Structures are given as structure tokens and as C-alpha cells.
Amino acid sequence: MHSVAVLVARFEVPGGQTVQAFTFALDCTPAEAACVRRQFGGRRYARNWAVRTLKQDLTRYHESGEATQMPSLAGLRKRWNQVKDTECADQVTGQVWWPEISKEAFADGIRAAVDGYWNWQASRAGKRAGRRVGFPRFAKKGRDRDRVTFTTGAIRVEPDRRHVTLPRIGTVRTHENTRRLERLVADGRARILAATVSRRGTRLVVAFRVLIQRPQQPRVQRPDSRVGVDVGVRVLATVADNDGVVIERVANPRPLEAALKELRHLCRERSRRTRDSRRYAETNQKITRLQRRIANIRAHRIHTLTTRLAKTHGEIVVEGLDAAGMLRQKGLTGARARRRGLSDSALGEARRQLAYKTDWYGSHLVTADRWYPSSKTCHHCQHVQDIGWSEHWTCHGCGAGHQRDDNAAINLARYEDTSTAGDTAVGPVGAAVKRGADPKTEPGSAGGRETRKGRSHTAAEQPRDGVLAR
């Protein structure tokens, strides 16, 4: 029914090297900022064209049975090149504007639409973990996150260490010194793979994806130390060892809570402005700057914490929390404020950063099972009881008093990874539990046969619209 898509070999990181990002803020002139915004708009325009084309192909297939080539980046880029002279023409003057946009911006938008399409197909087939994924939507200016990725062309860090060169945009001054990356590239220890320009708040930043020679460096201060790290809202992180000693309690800066009064004041001020007016834009810019400052404070505190842990302890045990699921809880007393506190603490970010920083510095990360009852298990007698949201509780088995976060950190430090060969592990109650705990998406009963695939296929071999040929 359809031609088979060509599978492109994935890039594999060579041994002794790793892919790392280097991010720098840009100090753009008004002309350069306007050029960057054109790249954002070109990417968004190409993505919307690709989504519209995929929808038209599906409609035509359902109505007439006409088969088209399977969605792929190469196929859609070829079709885009055939129609861009008519698609990218001013409606009034008829002037073609696509030469002002980098071809990489168009390719990045088409790639996003193709990836969204296959994520939708995998979700319909029940082969994608997590929540159901819908058909890719159209990107709207002001709602879509402005960004564009360049993989070819002039991408380099200038020797003066204060400028970077990007395709179509040209040479732009950076707000920070780029010596860390420039030294690695000049010495031949790093190679730039791609550069992503994005808007973060009121600033434009560039993130270089770099293949860097970074062999494992065993610089851990206490290689024999094993600690458990419990992240929370009251305290950002509680660190304890397997002897039951709490080593450290890292205070939670709670930047959102600290700035909530000012944020509410600015939001009320914006609501009194006329939309799209000059004062509305000024107030909106103040809100954007405040939100960016909140994010920077949170990111700085978590980065300093995870770097210190990875450099200090040989083995770190963290809990595999379902942070996204915790944010979806409803119907509880104070659930809205609780969700705001969970978001302010970024519970899943520490585990993500420790996953790669432990490899950098030679330490080891152990992720406890998501259903491991670290908070409600007494670390003296291993009695498990329901404690609700209480910060302090008393064990019914031995009468010992516990503080919630301290007890959880001690239990995590004593956690035994009983994983066996395969995808299952024996949990704390002796029953086999699924590793990775992300629920698989179940096929929906849209009509009986829409999600039936017959024998096992790869995603590229599935019918384009998920419907079997009759």
C-alpha cells in the first residue's frame, strides 16, 4: 500500500566521548534580533505547512484511497522545495521571501512535524509510554516556543571568545565569555554538532551541542560513601548515609513563592491594560523577566547541589518519583498550592542532572523503584504504615519517632537494588514490579480495527493512518 521508509543510521557517540551542551546569551543588535525572529517564523511556517500537508494526505487517502509516500524528513523537504516559491510569496507584492530564511530553519520545522506524526502513531499503537499523544497541532505565534536548530553551515565560536557565528544570522556578540568552549575546539578536543537559538524570556540564547572528549574522571572525594537523597518541598534535598546519619539538609529557595506577591501584582496590572497596547507589552515584559529570574534561581541551586553530590559521594541513591503524576493530583485539600510547591521545587530535575554528572565524575547513581515506600517505612524495624502528608510520625511497630524527609533519605541509602535480568525487579514487598514504571499507552477502541497492526512492525512500516487495508 505504501513504500517502505528508508531508515537512517543513528549517530553513535564514540567511546571516551560525550555530547554536552554549552549555552551562551546573545547580545543582538536590533537588525540581528529581527533576523533571528525571521528564522523563528520560518521554522513555524514550515512546520505548519508540513502538518497541513499530512492532514491533506490523510483526508485524500480516506476519501479516494490514494496512497502517498510515508512521512519522512527527506520526502517532505523535497515536496517543500517544489512548492516554496508559491508558499513563501507575499500576498500583496508577490515577492518571494524564503531566501531570507536559512534552509535549516525550514528543515527543523518539518522535522518537528514528522516526529510529532510518528509519536502520534506510536501512541495509537500502544507502543509509547506515558500519556496519549495526539496528532501534531499548528504552531501559533506567541504560544509556540521560539527556537531553531542549525546542523549545517557556518557554526563556530570566534577566537576572540566574545562572538559566535551562525548560519544566515552572521557573527553575533555573546553576553558571556566563550573561552571554555573555544579552548576545547582549538585544542581539537571538541567538535560542534549543532546550534540551537531560542528565546528565553526577554533574552536570546544559543546552545551548542558539542561532541567532547571527556573520559571518566575518578575525582570523587569519598568513593566508598553511599548516600540516599530525598528531594521534597519543605527541604530541597535531604542527604543521609546508610548508618542513619543525616549528612546535609539543603534549604529550598522556593523562588516562585518568594516572588509570588510581585508576580500577582504584575498580573493584575496587566489585566488593566489594553491588549496589544504599549503599556500592555511593557508589563508583559516585566512578568517575563521575573519568571526568568525565578527559573534561574531554581536552576542555579539544583546545579550546585547535584555537582557537589556527584563529586563527593561514590554511590548516590535517589527515588524514581513520578513528578508529572504528582502534579496531576486533584480533589485534595490545598491541592492547588501543593502542585505549585511541587513545581517550584522541580523534583525530577535533580535526578536528571545526577544521571549524567555521575558519569562525568566517576560516581554511580542508583534509582530506587517508584513504588518503594521510603517515607512511610520505619528505618529501625522496617514497619510500613500510612502517614498521609504528616511531616512527623511515630512508628506503630517500635514506637520510634521519625521526620518524614530524614527517614526517607536513610531508607534510600539502605536501598538494595534487587533488579534481575529482564525488565522486572523484586520490590520491597517481595512482588515483581515493572522497572521504569512509565505506563504504556493502551490502544484505544476507535472502531475495532484502527489500532490492530497484525504482526510486529517497526514504526516506519506501519500504515500511515493506522488503518488496515480492507
pLDDT in tens, 218-264: 678 898 899 999 998 889 999 999 888 999 999 999 999 999 999 99
Structural domains in the chain (count): 3
Structural domain contains residue 364: yes
Structural domain contains residue 452: no
Residue 335: its pLDDT value, please? 72
Distances (CA, A) of 205 to 33, 154, 194, 201, 350: 11, 17, 14, 10, 23
Total count of residues recorded for the chain: 470
- Whether residue 239 sits in one domain with residue 200: no
pLDDT above 70 (res 346): yes
Percent of the chain with pLDDT over 70: 84
pLDDT above 90 (res 23): yes
pLDDT above 50 (res 432): no
Structural domain contains residue 290: no
- Whether residue 360 sits in one domain with residue 234: yes
Residue 416: its pLDDT value, please? 85
Q: Which residues of 156-190 are buried (b: 16+ CB within 10 A; e: fewer)?
A: bbeeebbbbebbbbeebebeeebeebbebbeeeeb
- Whether residue 163 sits in one domain with residue 137: no
Residue 446: its pLDDT value, please? 42
pLDDT above 60 (res 421): no
Structural domain contains residue 449: no
- Whether residue 368 sits in one domain with residue 226: yes
Structural domain contains residue 417: yes
- Whether residue 315 sits in one domain with residue 166: no
Long-range CB pairs of 334-342, under 8 A, 24+ apart, other chains included:
338/233, 340/256, 340/257, 341/233, 341/254, 341/257, 342/233
Domain span including residue 128: 43-142
- Whether residue 123 sits in one domain with residue 182: no
Taking a C-beta distance cutoff of 8 angstroms, is the pair 84, 98 a contact?
yes
DSSP symbol at 63: H
Set of cell numbers at residue 84: 516554496
**Predicted confidence band of residue 51 (pLDDT cuts 50, 70, 90):** very high
Q: For 279-310, how does the pLDDT look when each residue is reduced to its tens digit (9 = 90+)? A: 999 999 999 999 999 999 999 999 999 999 99
Distances (CA, A) of 147 to 39, 55, 197, 269, 284: 8, 24, 5, 29, 20
- Whether residue 348 sits in one domain with residue 228: yes
- Whether residue 75 sits in one domain with residue 191: no
Residue 468: its pLDDT value, please? 36
- Whether residue 409 sits in one domain with residue 313: yes
pLDDT above 90 (res 77): yes
Residue 17: its pLDDT value, please? 82
Q: Quick one: 371 exposed, middle or buried, by C-beta within 10 A (0-12, 13-18, 19+)?
A: middle
**Predicted confidence band of residue 333 (pLDDT cuts 50, 70, 90):** low
- Whether residue 189 sits in one domain with residue 325: no
Taking a C-beta distance cutoff of 8 angstroms, is the pair 437, 370 a contact?
yes
Highest mean pLDDT among 298-307, 330-339, 359-368, 425-434: 298-307
Residue 174: its pLDDT value, please? 96
Set of cell numbers at residue 30: 536590533
- Whether residue 331 sits in one domain with residue 246: yes
Residue 316: its pLDDT value, please? 94
Structural domain contains residue 397: yes
Kindly report the pTM of this predicted structure.
0.78
- Catalytic residue positions, numbered: 230, 319, 405
Residue 336: its pLDDT value, please? 77
Average pLDDT, stretch 375-400? Answer: 88
Q: For 150-182, how does the pLDDT look when each residue is reduced to its tens digit (9 = 90+)? A: 999 999 999 999 999 999 999 999 999 999 999
- Whether residue 244 sits in one domain with residue 393: yes
Structural domain contains residue 1: no
Structural domain contains residue 205: yes
